Each structure stands twice: as C-alpha cells, then as structure tokens.
Amino acid sequence: MPSAHRFLGFGFAAADLLLEIRADGQVSFALGAGEAVLGVKDRALGGRSWQSLFDPEDHPMVEALFAGLGDGTRAGPVVLKVAGKATGHASLTAIRLPQNDGAISCALSRASGRGASGLQSRETFEARAAELMSGASQELELAFVELAGLSGSAAAAEDPARFQALVAGALRAQAYRGEAATEVGPDRYALVRGRDEPTDVVAQRIARVLADAGVTKVQTTAAAVPMTGVETRKSTVQALRYALNLVFKDGLAHALPGDLSQALDEAMRTALSNAGALGAAIKHRRFTLAYQPVVSLESGELHHHEVLVRFGSNGSPFPTIRMAEEMDLIEPLDMAILEETLQALQRDPALVLAVNVSGRSLMRDSYVDGALELLKSRPWANGRLMFELTESAAVEDLAAADRRLQALRAAGCEVCLDDFGAGAASLAYLQQLTLDLVKIDGRYIRDLAHGGREATFVKHLVNMCAELKVRTLAEMVETPEAEDAARRAGVHYAQGWLYGRAREAPANDVSIGARGRARAGALAIRSALDR
C-alpha cells in the first residue's frame, strides 16, 4: 500500500498514535506516541496482535467494532483499557479503507477513565447516561435495539458466557465511548450513541457481528430518541427511565417520544397519576402485610417475623417502594405499615415483628416522633418490635440518624441494619450507628458453604459484630448446607426459603426450623419459580 494512501487513511482523525492492523490481527504499521498511549515503543508494535495491546475484557467490543465495519466506513471512538496498565485508557477510532486487503486503520489517543465495562445495570446506566449527556462534545441519542429471537438461538444455549460477551461487545461497539449500554428486557437493549450516523446503521452493524459469529435467525431493529430538551441531571434520569420502561413494556412497536423533553413531560404526567394512585393506596390501606419467619440457629426455634408489604398481585414491592421514595410518599407509607404492624402485635401477644423503615423516613423528625407517640400508647409492644433500616435510600447524616435510632431503642425497640454488604455505605453505617442486629446480604450466604471469598467476608463480619456486641442474621438461607455454614460461622439467626416463604398469616410453630429442613428440596424449587 503506498505511503500517501496510508496517511490519507489516517487523516480521518487527529491522534496520538496511528496503527494499521492486518486481516490476521497483527500490527503492520505504527507511528506516533506508542509508549505514551500503550506503554510500548512504536518500533516494538510491529508484528504484535492487537489483542496484546488491550485488556481482555475489551476484546469482544473491539472484535465487534472491527467486524461491523464495511468498506469505507468508520466506527468509534470507544475507550479501552490498556493491557498491563491498571489506570491506562486509550480512545480508539477505526476505519476500513476500500481495496486495502482487509486491513483496518486505527487512530488512538490517550483518554481519561470511563464507566463500568460490560452491560450495565438499569440504575448504573441511567446515572452514567445522564453524566455523559452533560459532558459530551457531540449530540447524543438514546438508541434502542431489539434482537428478536436472540435468547432462543442455539448459540445462547451452547455457550452462555461466550454468547453474553458477544452481545455485550456488539452493543458497546456502537455505544458512545463504548460504555453506556444496558439490557431493557428480553432481547431488548438500550445504549447511548452519537447522532452522527443514521440509527439503522446500529442495527446493520450488530446484525453483521452476530451473523459472523454464526448467530442466525435474529431480526434486528433499532430506533432512537434524541437526548435533547432537558437541562438538569435529575430531569434527564426521569426522562431516560420513562423511555426505558416504555420499551420494556411495549417494545419498539410503540411510538417513542420525539426527544427527552417530550419523554420528561410524559414521565411527569405518569408520575402524577401514579402518585395519586399510590397516595390513595396508602390512605385507604390498599396493601397487605406478609410475614417471613426468622429462626434462631442455636435452638432452631422461631425468633421473630419480618413484615413485608405487598401491593395487589404484583411481584416484588421494590419498584413501588422506590417510586414512593422518589415521590416523597415513603414516610406516610412507612407510617401506615408501622400502624398495621402494631395492630398485628396487638391481635397476637406471642408475636415479635421487624418492620422496615427507609433512610428517608428515619431522617425526618415527623416519622420518628409519630412512631414514638404510637409506642407510648402501646406499652405492650415493648420488646416485641424491631426496626430494620433499609439502604433503598442513602442516609447522609449518620450522626443524626443514630440519634433517632437511639430514641427508638430507648422506647423498647431493637434496631437492625438490613442487607449489609449490598451497598457501598454499609461499613460506614456499622461504624457510626448503634445497632442490635446486622442482616447479612443473601448474595454472601448463598455461596457460604463453598468457602472462598464469601465465607471469609462473613466470618470477619461476624467477628467484628461480636466485638461490637451486635448479633447477626443470615438471609436467603435456602439449603441445609447454607444453614450449617452460617451456624459454623457464628451467625445467630437465619431467614429464607428453608424455613418458609412470606405468607399472610405469621407462623406460630416453634418447630418451624425442623419442618423447614424437611421441606428444603421442595422449597428450593418453589423459590426459583416464585421470585
């Protein structure tokens, strides 16, 4: 290839380093600041594979980026982790020139860090998309891709891990900076991308990547919403969430909003409607309580029940609780649940119950004062009620939170920190709050019997709590092996499918532990079906 032609190919972007990669994946030409960008001198790059230059977790994305290129087309930029450099990143843009024997010309520049790699969770995606929008140097759009038939393909069944990496790489290759992509629903995905190419280019490139990997009979469609018309980060997240939920429910067959401004307007109308319905549900007690048993690992007997709220026939109550927090309705909801819990305690003098309280409710004097007033007129609740502080909303002023918790403890109630290990703030909570009980997040308990990192974490946590005179509770105990491992680790109490599912009427049989163990196999199957 003539030198002039080569440099014409590199003229498509300013860069710190220019590479030409042959069809076999080897670097055939390098010019620029190779050592500054990749930690390798230019003359040492020739003959190396491109895979040796970048972190393995980014290989599927680069493979998809290259595979999606047609003659004369460009892709990127995407931000990659540099191999062997813990904090090193490079921005890569690629072009496939016609009549160049399949070689790909790449322009690389030094780049700052990026968000999480791989497909992101919905919450992470919403937050990161809002960040990217505020700092982007180009106009962005929220693109949706539907890959009908993907989950039922033979490739998905043959090698699930490789298949997931393939799909994630194909989506990230089309995303802005190669990072903002998420799964919206079955065979439906969302990503943030630049508006410099038609949306159908996304569908064509992803279809080409899947076909090259042998994934056939997948119908690929795409649509997009311009990320314009909103100014604040909070408004951006609300609009994104509305658009994501719309595609989750109705797919791309539904007419998408014209832009984020229209999505925000529709989101606000929906929110007002939902707020009215939720407010009425709280006022008129259109919810029910369910009771899940907690047993003592020392005696095997019933210790208390956790009170869980249920709304109609819906599945997990978490979306409704999250909505209550966002709409400033969590305090009246928590208070209504507390009132119903106290009525249950009054009906059955043998009950001991734990009720959840959001961090937002706890930080309001009105909730704590109301709870203390209720307890003052109900002395029979003394020693029979526990408050579980959830991390669904973060507590920023832990000193103020501790003062309110101590007021509840002084009124005869114990205090539990829920889901320890699930949130980044857990250790700070344990350090600054005076607690009676810590509930260990179920993801550590499930694999506790197998040893390894989870077992080490739990053992150290139990020892630390023992020094602080705080008892521990293991959640999601589903097998006798997990129960035995929790007991050997020194955990005091256990909760999970091994002992019974949450139900409308609390159990009162002290042999629940033995009965649960006898039914362990059946409950494990039912847990997978019901969750």
- Among 443, 413, 447, residue whose Cα is nearest residue 426: 443
d(CA 61, CA 81): 11
More confident residue, 483 or 429: 483
Angle (CA) 123 126 128, round 5°: 105
The answer to whether 244 and 266 are in contact (CB under 8 A) is no
* Residue at token pair 């309705």: 329
pLDDT beyond 50 at 527: no
Both 395 and 518 in a single domain?
Answer: yes
Q: What does the longest C-alpha to C-alpha distance in the chain come to?
A: 91
Q: Check residue 91 and give its pLDDT.
A: 86
Q: Coil, strand or helix: which one is 299?
A: coil
Beta-carbon contacts of 368 under 8 Å, excluding residues fewer than 6 positions away, are: 362, 404, 407, 408
pLDDT band at residue 528 using 50, 70 and 90 as cut-offs = very low
446 domain-assigned: yes
Task: Let me know whether 464 and 363 are in one domain.
Answer: yes
Task: Name the residue type at position 321.
Answer: I
pLDDT on residue 378: 94
**Do 190 and 201 meet the contact criterion of CB atoms below 8 Å apart?**
no
Taking the C-alpha atoms of residue 228 and residue 364, their distance in angstroms, rounded to an integer, is 36
Answer yes or no: are the C-beta atoms of 94 and 75 closer than 8 Å: yes
Average pLDDT over residues 178-194: 83
Q: Tell me the pLDDT of the chain averaged across its residues.
A: 80
CA distance 69 to 441: 45
pLDDT band at 302 (very low <50, low <70, confident <90, very high): very high
Query: Model-level pTM?
Result: 0.55
* 133 and 65 within one domain: no
Give the range of the structural domain holding residue 53, as residue numbers without chain letter: 3-111
Q: Which residue did the predictor score with more confidence, 441 or 244? A: 441
Cis-peptide into 77, omega within 30 deg: yes
Specify the pLDDT at position 84. 76
Instruction: Using DSSP, state whether 50 is helix, strand or coil.
Output: helix
Domain-located, residue 393? yes
Inside any domain, residue 230:
yes
Q: What is the mean pLDDT of residues 269-287?
A: 75
Q: How many domains does the chain have?
A: 3
| Pairing, β 302-310 against β 353-357 | parallel
Same-domain pairing of 139 and 104: no
- Provide CB contacts within 8 A for 197, sequence distance 6+: none
In a domain, 279, yes or no: no
Is residue 268 very low, low, confident or very high in pLDDT (cuts 50, 70, 90)?
A: low
Same structural domain for residues 211 and 143? yes
- What local confidence, expressed as pLDDT, does residue 425 receive? 55
Is residue 64 over pLDDT 80? Answer: yes
Residue 180 lies in a domain: yes
| Mean pLDDT computed over 488-514 | 80
Supply the DSSP string of 405-435, one letter for each residue.
HHHHHHTT-EEEEEEETSSTTHHHHHHHS--
Of the ranges 61-65, 157-161, 377-381, the best mean pLDDT one = 377-381
**Taking 60 as the threshold, does the pLDDT of residue 148 lie above it?**
yes
> In percent, how much of the chain has pLDDT > 90?
21
d(CA 440, CA 458): 8
Give the chain's length. 531
- Answer yes or no: do 129 and 19 share one domain: no
| Last residue in a domain, options 82, 111, 140 | 111
**Residue 187's domain is classified under what CATH number?**
3.30.70
